[in-house]
Amino acid sequence: MTATPERTWHVGDYGPLGWAETAVKAVAFVCAYIAFAHALDRTLHSPDAIRIAELVLIGIAEVGLIAAIGERLIEREAIAMGFVVFNNAAHIGMLYALLAVPGPGGLVSLFCGLMLTGEAIKLVWLRTTEFRVREIAPLVVQGLVAAYAVIYLLALLIWQFLK
């Protein structure tokens, strides 16, 4: 049996597109944190149909992000690990804000729009760098990012057109 080298914590090479995605999503996180902070002194309520749809969509995104923590631990990439923690906190904060009265208002729309933009940047980055996650085909990784883009697009459309 051949021993495999243990992965050590490191910082990846993101290039301009990777850092652009990080910056755009970081602004989205700030929107979610603000929405959460405003919701802390508000009462919570049973959501209506539109809020339920938004909760489900952002909840699905959150479940995937929880799983991403394990992937980041396997990869041992320091920036990505920190980023996924802040990303999870932002999604949980937005979920809480969606349960508050009067809710996050336009911050949910801004959050989803910025996250959608970040996913679009990430797709371009993935396609131009041929980035791989271990032995997973690049097309699978791109498909997961596209699925997240669809989640944010749907949540944005629900907020914009059905509110």
pLDDT (tens digit, 9 = 90+) per residue, 116-146?
A: 999 999 999 999 987 888 888 889 999 999 9
44 forms beta bridges with 100
* The two three-digit tokens of residue 70, written as one number: 């394990």
Is residue 104 reached through a cis peptide bond, with omega within 30 degrees of 0 on the bond before it?
Answer: no
pTM, 2 dp = 0.91
* The two three-digit tokens of residue 77, written as one number: 């990439």
pLDDT (tens digit, 9 = 90+) per residue, 28-39?
A: 999 999 999 999
CB 89 within 8 A of CB 36: no
Indicate the residue type of 9. W
